[in-house]
Chains A and B, each alone.
Chain A
Amino acid sequence: MTSTVTSERVLMEGSEALARAAIVAGCRFFAGYPMTPFTEVLEHFARLLPDVGGACINAESELEAVGMAWGALATGARAATGSTGQGLSLMQESFSEMTLAELPLVIFNMARGQQDYFQATRGGGHGDYRHIVLAPQDVREGVEHVQLAFHLADKWRNPVLVYGDYLLAHTQEAIAIEAIEFPVLPAKDWAVNGSRSGTGRSGAVTSLGIGKVGQRALGQEGKAQYIATKIPYMEREVRVETGFLDDAETVVVAFGSPAKFVKYAITQLRAAGHRVGYVRPITLWPFPYATVAEAAGLPSVRRIGSFELAAGQMIDDVRIGVAGRVPVTFIGGVSTDHSGFGVGRILDVEVITDRILALHVDRELPVIPGYESCSYEMQEHQA
């Protein structure tokens, strides 16, 4: 299949769909380093980009991958990089600095679970910066989000991260890659391509605020100020989905592919007469605090649960939104398979339904089946 756009549905794995979506959005450069469960994204870019005149480099490490994307972006091209959480850890200095340099990088995190929430939303890099974070619940939404990511990155001249996971990357779906039309953005007159060298009006793409002689420049202090004051404007990009809230007693907050399981579980619970609703953040940053606050403020709502495949990260943002109106309980858990890469025991409709119900009827949360012997309280140290 040489054409990237498919108007008919074709069976393909999530990684391929995301790569195709990026190319449809105009991405012409990708660099990455193999790491499970992200590796296939790199493979698909390597296969598909040359056909559209682009370049994909298997870099010597994640550090160089993000550096190469940096250079490509500086020329005005659309470019991306990605990894799983560990690889993104290596890229953090560059992420911070590229945000200061106002480069529109798109970052793929094919995460091992949802434990990279803090990394994505708080950032592991230095200084004040925020990345817009999109959390698709399935491949179809992923295809939309990837295209949206490139648009938002260019719109704000700010990196945007697409938070996927093992399930999204490796699920095969029949999917049509349809190009989304976005509002036209201004030309990238900030980019450098050599044509202004020697004219007295050469440009610089820099995080340091150093300007060319004779041109206005913010300097390092001014640059930091500028980036900080951009943040409230980017908060307008918040996106969220809600369901079954009208007379809900219990509201569950969940994101990404687990959210799809949660929504299904809640549909079943509703059918059985339980008044449960949900809030699904689509942007993890900006987090939909207002929607969570509104939900917590509904007269019927008694309690809020945060479901995540983690030890509890998004719950911090849920608590900020709820602001003490009702109790917030963590009903998720760390969950991977035996390899540590994939999805685990908790991502199971029965387990999830059970945990939501336990919250709903104020029953003690059951131990996640299979994890009985892993708790710290056991005081048994096993490698």
Chain B
Amino acid sequence: MSGPRTPIVIDTSSAPTVPARKVEELKPALLLTQEHHMCPGCGEPLAIRQFLETIEDLDVAQRSIAVAGIGCYTSFSGTMDIDLVQALHGRAPSVATGVKRMLPDALVFTLQGDGDMVNEGLQEVIHTAARGENVTCILLNNGVFGETGGHMTATSVIGQRTKTSLDGRDAEYHGYPILIGDLIAQLQGAAYVARGSVHNAGGVARTRKMFKRAFETQLRGEGFTFVEVLTMCPTGWFIPTAEGPGYMNETLGEVHIMGELKIDGRVRTTEELHAENVARQRELDEQLARGGLHDE
């Protein structure tokens, strides 16, 4: 792809002086500050932005409660303007269960990483889903334990190099990854299960729609909802930041297939998901080229 048609640089230090409409704010209203300590190129803030803006769009902030797990994203517990309960590593779904049982009208969601949810807390999320607790579990899946420096988790893929699989994950020695979204979709108590990604603008936009569907399903009391988001972790993957999206798409994305895995009680097939992903990506790229993705 060629670059810009001219080297002229536009002054972007302040708002335009000619008549213009601001269509996107710097940060979500529910984020108290744009400051955070995530690494350059981290995908987690992209996902966090989308669910916070979704809560704003649905106008349910005043009954939202977050339950945070332990990982890089934990620091957002202080910057999200959401009433929050901090849980131990892996233990957010049980805490969310207790919260929701006491406050059935609240929008209760967990925020967890793959190490937290799929390693330490696998039992919790499966049982919470099986019981059909009316909460939304949000998984930020980057295939590594990021906060401790880049170690293998249950979602790391075969061949992925981490500090505990230095020659690449080997099926014989390290076993196979758990496709948690797919596992959860099989449980009767799970009403809506989706896997999105933040590797490009189209992926981010699709993920936002998944959050909206999940929260609406919870608010209708239809059961357990789950949104898994594949994110970039260039630090944990030992690659330059610019290569993050490609790596995510080509390693994690090839194994953990994106799409709405379960909707209206029906588990979708891999073939359906593949076909849909190709079609949706093309559609979103065209929309972006035409000038925007938003329903205005």
Binding site for B on A (CB under 8 A): 28-29, 31, 55, 57, 59-61, 63-75, 77, 79, 93-94, 97, 101, 192-200, 202-208, 210-214, 217
Contacts and interface: CB of A to CB of B under 8 A. Distances in A.
Contacts of B78: 204, 210-213, 217
A64 B94 contact: yes
A67 B74 contact: no
B144 interface: no
A182 to B, nearest CB: 22
Contacts of B99: 71-72, 74-75
Contact of A72 (B30, B102, B127): B102
B102 A205 contact: no
Contacts of A60: 123-124, 127
B185 interface: no
A203 B67 contact: no
Contacts of B97: 57, 64, 67-68, 71
A29 B32 CA distance: 33
A207 B74 CA distance: 12
B81 interface: yes
30 contacts: A29-B102, A57-B97, A60-B123, A60-B124, A63-B123, A63-B124, A64-B124, A64-B127, A67-B98, A68-B101, A69-B98, A70-B98, A71-B96, A71-B97, A74-B98, A193-B103, A196-B83, A197-B62, A198-B62, A198-B64, A200-B32, A202-B82, A202-B84, A204-B83, A205-B85, A205-B86, A206-B84, A208-B77, A210-B75, A212-B79
Question: 7 closest A-B pairs (Cβ-Cβ)?
Answer: A71-B98, A67-B94, A198-B61, A206-B86, A192-B83, A72-B98, A71-B95
Interface in B44-100: 56, 61-65, 67, 74-75, 77-88, 91, 93-100
B86 A198 contact: no
B128 to A, nearest CB: 8
Contacts of B287: none
B107 interface: yes
B29 interface: yes
A206 B78 CA distance: 10
A197 B63 contact: yes
Contact of A213 (B29, B32, B65, B124): B32
Interface of B: 29-30, 32-33, 56, 61-65, 67, 74-75, 77-88, 91, 93-103, 106-107, 123-124, 127
B83 A194 contact: yes
A101 B64 CA distance: 20
A29 B83 contact: no
A193 B98 CA distance: 12
A212 B32 contact: yes
Contacts of B77: 204, 206, 208, 210
A192 B100 CA distance: 12
A57 to B, nearest CB: 7
A204 B106 contact: no
Contacts of B96: 71
A61 B90 CA distance: 14
A204 B85 CA distance: 6
Given A28-B102, A194-B62, A97 B94 contact: no
Nearest to B135: A71
Given A198-B30, A212-B78, A55 B85 contact: no
A192 B96 CA distance: 12
* Most chain A CB neighbours (cut-off 10 Å) among B33, B62, B64, B78: B78
B137 to A, nearest CB: 13
B32 A97 contact: no
Nearest to A94: B88
A139 to B, nearest CB: 28
B84 A94 contact: no
